Structure 1
Amino acid sequence: MSMSWADVRFMLERARGLIRRGIASLRTRGPAATWARVRRQFARRAPPAAAPLYFPADAAFAPFAVPASDAPRASIVIPVYNQATYTLACLRALAEHPPIATCEIIVVDDGSTDQTGEWMAQVAGLHYHRRATNGGFIAACNDGAARAAGEYLVFLNNDTVPQPGWLDALLATFDAHARVGLAGAQLIYPDGRLQEAGGVVFDDGSAWNYGRFDSPDDPRYASVRDADYCSGAAIAIAATLFHAAGGFDTRYAPAYYEDTDLAFAVRERGLRVLYQPASRVVHLEGITAGTDTGSGTKAYQVRNRAVFAGKWKNVLHRQPGAGRIPTAGSVVRKRQVLVIDAETPRAQHDSASLRLVNLMKMLGNDDAHVVFLPADLRDAQDDTMRLRQQGVEVWQAPFVNRVSTWLREHGQRFDVVMVSRHYVAAEFLPLVRRFAPQARVVFDTVDLHFLRELRGAELADDAGLRRAAEQTRARELALVKRADITLVVSPVERDMLSTWLPGARVEVLANLHALADGGLPFAQRRDLVFVGGFRHPPNVDAVLWFGREVFPLIRARQPDLRFHCIGMGPPAEVLALQAHPGIVVHGHVPDLGPYMDGVRVAIASLRFGAGVKGKINLSMAHGQPVVATSCAAEGMHLTDGHDVLIADDAGAFADAVLRLYQDADLWARLSAHGRENIARHFSMDAAQDTVRKVFRARV
């Protein structure tokens, strides 16, 4: 494909931005750290290889055992009619990779005449029920459900090979999402192609297997998503709901459309039908009934379409028109929000990432479909997977090669486009305006970068940094003018922008935190902690100042104290602080809980920066009191002595730390008031009105 002017303009803006940021990094971080950032920026990362499909060994029958429990969470119901070798492969797969969840397996034999009865009787732990007469798929499933003891019914075709982890992923859908009535697996052909990523139903009652023959790893099919129905080859539903709905409707007997009908019945009760891509099941399709709709059992698919259309005629008019091939835009029938940031957020690493992840969660909970596009187009693996399990449609290479091409194809989908950070917005806003002209454009500053740069320049007394900060200011203000709405994280920054650009619409969306348990009491806590990633220059300066100038004053008066320094990528000068007695530099830790819940006092020793400080929010959400500088406490609705202690010179900071460390009553007051501050100003409940005003209401 030839390069367009949109591609050229995008690449030129990206090149200018990289050069500007590289020069600024050289001035603030030095050559070594800058070179590391350059290598990370341009490193080639191939997408992770898809896990090979698992198939049990093809061997002669020998007795074996399947998972079994007297108190199952899930009852796996497998209806069978002949095809004993396929049933054997399905059961072997369940036996060789047992789930974590307790389960029972019920095979309902609908009158087989092959080796089914002989083999099933020799499978230990299996509940085998043979029906007196052949009644078809629906009768066999309803029979199995009546014999099930599990909280959830899981219907599984015998011509399937469940992949490792399939059942736990399917059940986790009910725990992770609200109002889930039914969850369905991702169905894959034996050759690795996608068979179904949830189904689409048209207004005439006909249906479509979404994603058929595409890659299972395509971003369109890789996230949890509402579906019109999920194929009964592998679905889960609460047993009470299944029985309340009357089971599979016998008017469709012997088979076909009963799964679609059940999904519509679930939604009629105000519950959701979700497709779960992490639950992968190989489905041979048509082994028992064949694939010819002109003869045999498969012919009921044509007849039952008319039955289904008659039953649900009052709701089918809401479905898409027949004959339209579903697209990523049309298959999701709710508000669609595109979010663009520099890279995939890593909520366990920095507060900006946590804020963005929680914002996308809030949008999803408010019935929006969120699409995320990282500017670096990289698959962040576990972090990408977490977003997809949250219901966010995440795109990356190789499924996106040129962002202009992707936006040209997808831009018309979106009601709102949010672009984070000024250097990302500078690259993407022209493309968004061109290819998504209908969308409201939101510029998320994350924090005002120029303000942080200017304060750093003043601290360093560097004229070059001051000029660079003024240039950043001009670029940020220009982007505020071009956006429909601008988001800042504090009232201080909102007031600044209102002064400079009185006509701009600016809203405050602060850090977003959930209150954690209070952790250990005062007497069982020890030591001091600082949390902050070291790709952020203010954090490097803060730790060096505290470690070199403040902590020695503290240790001189209380020698048993230790200072825990936590954050990804500590540079050499921070690592060198460990030469000082009592300082421990941990780098990144995967679980901050023990440090939030077991360390007595948090340190926020920032001497320059902007926005609101996630490290303070994080500690206060855990009930951990904080000693902070005025810069760190700016815009956070904090009062010295009420919910924080504030000090700015080394001696006063040391005094405040020791006072808080030794005074149990003061500690308890600050702990309680800090949690109140989070609930009032930084919780998702507190942000709900702003999020709805920005992303849902009409401008």
Structure 2
Amino acid sequence: MSMTWADVRFMLERARGLIRRGLASVRTRGLAATWARVRRQFARHPRLPPASLYRPAEAPFAPFVVPASDAPRVSIIVPVYNQASHTLGCLRALAEHPPSVACEIIVVDDGSSDQTHDWMTSIAGLRYHVRAGNGGFIAACNDGAALARGEYLVFLNNDTFPQPGWLDALLHTFGIWSDAGLVGAQLVYPDGRLQEAGGVVFDDGSAWNYGRFESPEDPRYTSVRDADYCSGAAIMVPTGLFRDIGGFDVRYAPAYYEDTDLAFAVRARGLRVLYQPAARVVHLEGITAGTDTGSGIKAYQIRNRGLFARKWAEALVGRPAAGTLPSPSTLARGRRQVLVVDAETPRPRHDSASLRMVNLMRLLVGEGAHVVFLPADLRAAGEDTAALRQLGVESWHAPFAASVASWMRAHGHRFDVVLLSRHYVAAELLPLVRRFAPQARIVFDTVDLHFLREKRGADIAGDDALRRSAGKTRDRELALMRQADATLVVSPVERDMLAALLPASARVEVLSNLHELAGSGAPFAQRRDLVFVGGFRHPPNADAMLWFGREIFPRIHARLPDVRLHCIGAEPPTEVRALQEIPGITVHGHVPDLAPYMDGVRVAIAPLRFGAGVKGKVNLSMAHGQPVVATPCAVEGMHLVDGHDVLVAEGADAFADAVVRLYGDASLWHRLSTNGRENIRKHFSLDAARNAVRRIFF
């Protein structure tokens, strides 16, 4: 595409504006802070690949259709003044990738004199409103809000290309964060650099686009978090709240600082202003108003800063000093900062330890902590990493974390508490934490007592070499417990066992599995079959399945020939897969959604012959109201009573008898279902763990 005179003028104006802002920054912030900002602007950072950013194809105008609804949930307000070609691109983006939520699009024309009127009136589905005269951005937005019919308002600049899924991500944030009052998008430049990951406001009322010119994929900018404000180029706010506040404050007319003011007004009502990185919007910053604050409409940015500072003087007290280069540490100021390190990113759909870890981080975030997660293997985990970020967890990985040691050297000073999960992770990390985070309390999370599990496995196998190995694991785990400030175990049984092995000064706390109660699923008469759930990287699960499949299930199948066993779990070994040769057994491997098996299968089994800790498979079934038949090992430390909330059996014949009995006894089934759910609520819910979390981490 050839360069036009308009392009040249834009580049010249941008350069002129950069020079003006640079000189102004030297005067207000000093040379050192200004130079730091210049280096950040021109530093080379990983950008999004150009092909990953959607941009509608440029073409002559032709009529098209935009998303529309007579009963919209969201009203998208696009204020415009000339720049018809940019408005056209924005609307084409909305038309080519329509959101799943019902919406309406309102274009408010603030007195355009170009092709805007002719084009907008030819676009089907668009609500086009022409103002009586030019009043500026604030007036146009407030007019659009008055016309809106949706439950939520979205203010969207016309010089944007919303990326697929952006609107659904904004709305989803309100569904997850009940105290959200305003949610802003991640803004990126057309060249793939980050433009804004929420805004930072300093003590003098000046502001900074957090993450400007850096990589949009940098872990500092990829999690949901509180922001001082979000640029009005792409924000969502409940319609009732916006109207209750009085809309954008007209004292800032025609434009600038109205979005910052709105964010402060939202917070003054006890609600949060959140940045949502999953809502990505390409923004051609400066197209309409330019970038030079010394002339034109951008000059109002300087004037309005003073207005804003006077209006919100009390709220600005204690904010970072002007000229400070924002960092995750300064943004989380005043909050408990907790680092969590595990062997890898937790995968809650694969194993119970991962589910426990994710729910623990949810609890910490809910209690007001800023949580940072670092996987010891430094690998990104796709959807599981993204899911943590949607919970508000700052999740790191390579290449942004080059090594664990270098990352700890750079970030260790931030943390009040460091949680090290699993003994082999803690053994490697504890010296680094003591060196680079000497101020932090170190919490060692055992997940389960590995040495106990290993010893029991060795006893089952009758292997002296395994017993010696278990003894070495025991020595390592106990040494870590002596060095840590606190140790977490998952059951009172393990806590009591350690009391005889550790000095009285060692602090051992119980923080068990964490589950949410699910629906109760289908009734007894509509359920059928048996289910086993457990990841097969965990040796006790493979042993349990082989024992059950070879010795117990044939006894059950002889008495209940129509019953099938569903074996679910990632990475089943060859021996477990071979169980499918036994009539009635299906080995599924990993399944992405367990709900149909939890809600539709009649009986769960937990035939573990060795192990330690608390068994997530038992918790999971009980949380869904699915009764369980288990061995004594499988219910250890879980506050369960045989015949009340679980059936306990030992030996192949006894286990088969218990399964057959429960499968045919509706009264027993209902009793175990009801009492099992109550057990989860009382001992293994997030609410049940809340006091322990406060005691350990705060």
| 1:65 counterpart letter in structure 2 | V
Distance 1:251 1:224 in 2: 31
- What is the deviation of 1:178? 2.3
Any residues of structure 2 matched to 1:625-644 within 5 Å, and which? Answer: 625-644=627-646
Q: SS where residue 441 of structure 1 aligns?
A: strand
What is aligned with 1:418? Answer: 419
**1:214 counterpart residue number:** 214
Offset from partner CA, 1:649-674 (integer Å, 9 cap, x none): 11111111111111111111111111
The reply on whether 1:508 has 2:516 as its aligned counterpart is no
Which residue of 2 is the match for residue 57 of structure 1? 57
Equivalent in the alignment of 1:494: 495
1:616 counterpart = 2:615: no
Could you give the per-residue CA deviations for residues 408-436 of structure 1, whole angstroms, max 9, x where no partner exists? 11111111110100000001111111111
Letter in 1 for 2:172: A
* CA displacement at 1:552 relative to structure 2: 1.0
Matches within 5 A, 1:107-126: 107-126=107-126
1:399 aligns to what? 400
Q: Distance in 2 between matches of 1:51 and 1:472?
A: 50
Aligned to 1:336: 337
Unaligned segments of structure 2, at least 5 residues: 1-45
How many residues align? The count is 651
Aligned-residue CA RMSD (Å) = 1.2
Matching of residue 140 in structure 1 with residue 165 in structure 2: no
Shift of 1:524: 1.1
- Equivalents in 1 of 2:429, 2:530: separation in Å? 42
How far did residue 390 of structure 1 move? 1.0
Deviation at 1:47, TM superposition (A): 13
CA offset digits 1:455-493 (Å, max 9, x no partner): 000010100000000000000000001111110000011
Listed as ranges, the gaps of 5+ residues in structure 1 are 1-45
Q: Which residue of 1 aligns with 2:190?
A: 190
2:290 counterpart SS class: coil
> Structure 2 vs 1, CA of residues 378 and 635 (structure 1 numbering), >3 Å: closer, same or farther?
same
Aligned partners of 2:536, 2:50: CA distance in 1, in Å?
Answer: 33
> For residue 570 of structure 2, what is the amino acid of its counterpart?
M
Deviations 1:88-147 (A, max 9, x none): 100111111111011100111111111111111111111111111111000000010000
2:582 to 580, 604, 614: 580
1:244-291 per-residue CA deviation (whole Å, 9 max, x = no partner) reads 111000000000000000000000000000000010111111111111
Q: Which SS does the other structure have where 2:86 is aligned?
A: helix
What letter is aligned with 1:552? P
Quote the residue 1:202 is aligned against.
202
Instruction: Determine the structure 1 residue equivalent to 2:287.
Output: 287
| Aligned counterparts of 1:51 and 1:471: Cα–Cα separation in 2 | 53
Mapped contact 1:602–1:625 kept (Cα < 8 A): yes
CA-CA distance at 1:48 after TM superposition = 11
Contact 2:570–2:589 (8 Å) recurs in 1: yes
Q: Give, in whole Å, the separation in 2 of the partners of 1:190 and 1:589.
A: 39
Distance in 2, Cα, partners of 1:196 & 1:499: 55
Alpha-carbon distance between aligned partners in 2 of 1:49 and 1:606, rounded to the nearest angstrom: 49
CA distance in 1, matches of 2:393, 2:501: 36
SS across alignment from 1:418: strand
Question: Structure 1 567/47 Cα, relative in aligned 2: closer, same or farther at 3 Å?
Answer: farther
Q: Quick check: 1:68–1:126 contact (8 Å CA) kept in 2?
A: yes
TM-score, normalised via structure 2 length: 0.92
Distance change (3 Å), C-alpha of 1:49 and 1:285: closer
Tell me, what secondary structure is at the counterpart of 2:330? coil
CA distance, structure 2, for counterparts of residue 313 and residue 47 of structure 1: 37
Alignment match of 2:534 (pick from 523, 526, 532)? 532
Rounded to whole Å, the distance in 1 between the matches of 2:47 and 2:213 is 20
Alpha carbons 2:83, 2:288 under 8 Å: kept? yes
Alignment partner, residue 176 of structure 2? 176
Letter in 1 for 2:506: A
Secondary structure (helix, strand or coil) at the match of 2:500 reads: helix
**How far did residue 49 of structure 1 move?**
7.0
- Please state if 1:647 is matched with 2:649: yes
Matching residue's letter, 1:207? A
What letter matches 1:161 in structure 2?
F
Cα separation, 2, equivalents of 1:346 and 1:667: 31
Partner of 2:255: 255
What is aligned with 1:664? 666
Which residue identity lines up with residue 580 of structure 1 in the other structure? Answer: I
Cα displacement (A) at 1:50 = 8.5
Shift of 1:389: 0.9
Encode CA deviations 1:150-172: one digit per residue, 9 max, x unaligned.
10000000111111111111111
Paired residue type of 1:478: A
**Does 2:437 align with 1:436?**
yes
SS of residue matched to 2:208:
strand
Q: Distance in 2 between matches of 1:390 and 1:623?
A: 27
C-alpha separation in 2, matches of 1:283 and 1:387: 26
551, 554, 557: which one pairs with 1:555? 557
The 8 Å contact of residues 47 and 379 in structure 1, kept in 2 or not, is answered as no
Does the aligned pair in 2 maintain the 1:342–1:424 contact within 8 Å? yes
Q: Distance in 1 between matches of 2:381 and 2:67?
A: 34
CA distance in 1 between counterparts of 2:599 and 2:287 reads 56
Partners of 1:565 and 1:445 in 2: how far apart? 27
Q: CA deviation at 1:318?
A: 2.4
Q: Which residue of 2 aligns with 1:226?
A: 226
* Pairing of 1:13-28 with structure 2 (within 5 A): none
Asked if 2 retains the 8 angstrom alpha-carbon contact of 1:50 and 1:217, the reply is no
Change (3 A) 1:241 1:444: same
